[in-house]
Amino acid sequence: MSLTPNKKGIAILGSTGSIGTQALDVVKSNPDLFDVVVLSAENNASLLIEQAKYFLPDSVVIGNEDKYQEVVKALANEPIKVYAGKDALVQIVEHSDVEMVLTAMVGYSGLLPTINAIKAGKNIALANKETLVIAGELITKLALEHKVEIIPVDSEHSAIFQCLAGEFHNIIEKIYLTASGGPFRNFSNEDLKNVTPQQALKHPTWNMGAKITIDSASLMNKGLEVIEAKWLFNINHHQIDVIVHPQSIIHSIVQFNDGSMKAQMGLPDMKLPIHYALSFPYRVKSDFKRFSFLDYPNLNFEPVDAKKFRNLAISFEMLKRGGNAPCVMNAANEIAVDAFLKGEVGFLEMSDIIEETINRVEFMKSPGYDDYVYFNARAREIAGQIIKKN
């Protein structure tokens, strides 16, 4: 006899982004398993409206209050409640029909809705890695206190989570996060100086939003994942390593204290870890394309050049430093990436901005939520000043 899950009510925060749209594809393929209760978007009102008309959620939230009337008018004949603004987004996760919240927002904006969802007892499908980067200690304590499960959606952390199924009582010796290496792994420092945003947005294996794609090209994405892994799996920096695996077939590896290793493999398709997170603790049949070893007769691995891609080294250092340091790094990176996309700074200058910001913001060992809010704003202000000065 096979067990099947009951229909699960979900809220998708950031439904118009890369993860959000793929999550809705998963839902569309499994209409008997998932009920979309809440959808939210920051600016893309037209796509949010289209999604709402198809899935008919109980509620939608448009973050940009200037677009509220546009959404209201478009959904006037639908049985859908429409809200706008950050406060509405934070509150909507408390909806009684929501069992799981998929946090697919990008950056700092995902922190407060995730905190409120945890306090409301909702399980979290976490695609917003910055939440744990910024406030990992706070988030993990809240999840424990409210008996909430955090299921990672990042392909690397989903892989580790899957490898640890049935192994949580065993000792992890090391985890290996794999990285594609991005589009510039064979570039020299001189080449990197001249990289354009258009080049950086062409990732060789993954289809992601602009900010995450730039982070992947600079290896900041992998640095954020290193910090996220510390909190998800209760390990320290000595137990985390990063290796370049250009084919992106092995998504991560866990090595145990007896020397054995477990790896999770699959084609580079984010729908698979999204499907797993939404369905957890069940494995639900999918029609995703299957991996064949004959299509990939050679799987390659290389060391990471952390001197060339300094963001990874900075991330490890911030992980060791702890306190508010990862929060400051993340805020500075968000400002630096935005400036790079606008053509205001060069590719390598992003790391310079991050390092200078870290050096100029005071360190706090044990911040609380209000402190994270302050240091996030402070770091953004200083990073902006550095960009203007240069």
What CATH number is given to the structural domain containing 85?
3.40.50.720
**Is the pLDDT at 112 greater than 80, yes or no?**
yes
CATH code, domain with 337 = 1.10.1740.10
- pLDDT-based confidence at residue 322 (cuts at 50, 70, 90): very high
Q: Range of 98's domain?
A: 8-152
Domain finish residue from 152, 176, 197: 152
- Of the pLDDT bands very low, low, confident and very high (cuts 50, 70, 90), residue 190 is very high
Is 270 within the bounds of a domain?
A: no
* Confidence check: pLDDT of 355 > 60: yes
pLDDT tens digits, residue range 143-154? 999 999 999 999
Average pLDDT, the chain: 95
Residue 202 pLDDT? 82
Q: Is residue 144 part of a domain?
A: yes
Domain end, chosen from 121, 152, 183, is at 152
Considering its fold, how many domains does the chain have in total?
2
Does residue 306 lie within any of the structural domains?
A: no
The average pLDDT across 326-343 equals 97
Residue 298 lies in a domain: no
Residue 42 confidence (pLDDT):
95
Q: Is residue 255 part of a domain?
A: no
Residue 81 located in a structural domain: yes
- pLDDT confidence tier of residue 344, bands split at 50, 70 and 90: very high
Q: Model confidence over 232-285: pLDDT tens digits?
A: 999 999 999 999 999 999 999 999 999 999 999 999 999 999 999 999 999 999
**pTM of structure:** 0.93
Q: Give residue 33's pLDDT.
A: 95
Confidence of residue 130 (pLDDT cuts 50, 70, 90): very high
pLDDT at residue number 207: 61
Look at residue 232 and tell me if it is in a domain: no
In this model, does residue 199 exceed pLDDT 80? yes
Give the pLDDT confidence of 21-78 residue by residue, as tens digits: 999 999 999 999 999 999 999 999 999 999 999 999 999 999 999 999 999 999 999 9
- Domain boundary pick from 124, 152, 180: 152
Question: Which pLDDT band, with edges at 50, 70 and 90, does 204 fall under?
Answer: low
- Output the pLDDT for position 1: 36
Q: What is the pLDDT of residue 3?
A: 53
**Does residue 269 sit within a domain?**
no
In the predicted model, is pLDDT for residue 206 greater than 90?
no
Q: What is the 3-state secondary structure (H, E, C) of the chain?
A: CCCCCCCEEEEEECCCCHHHHHHHHHHHHCCCCEEEEEEEECCCHHHHHHHHHHHCCCEEEECCHHHHHHHHHHCCCCCCEEEECHHHHHHHCCCCCCCEEEECCCHHHHHHHHHHHHHCCCEEEECCCHHHHHHHHHHHHHHHHCCCCEEECCHHHHHHHHHCCCCCCCCEEEEEEEECCCCCCCCCHHHHHCCCHHHHCCCCCCCCCHHHHHHHHHCHHHHHHHHHHHHHHCCCHHHEEEEECCCCCEEEEEEECCCCEEEEECCCCCHHHHHHHHHCCCCCCCCCCCCCHHHCCCCCCEECCCCCCHHHHHHHHHHHHCCCHHHHHHHHHHHHHHHHHCCCCCCCHHHHHHHHHHHHCCCCCCCCHHHHHHHHHHHHHHHHHHHHHC
- Look at residue 2 and tell me whether its pLDDT is greater than 50: no
User: What's the pLDDT at 6?
Assistant: 82
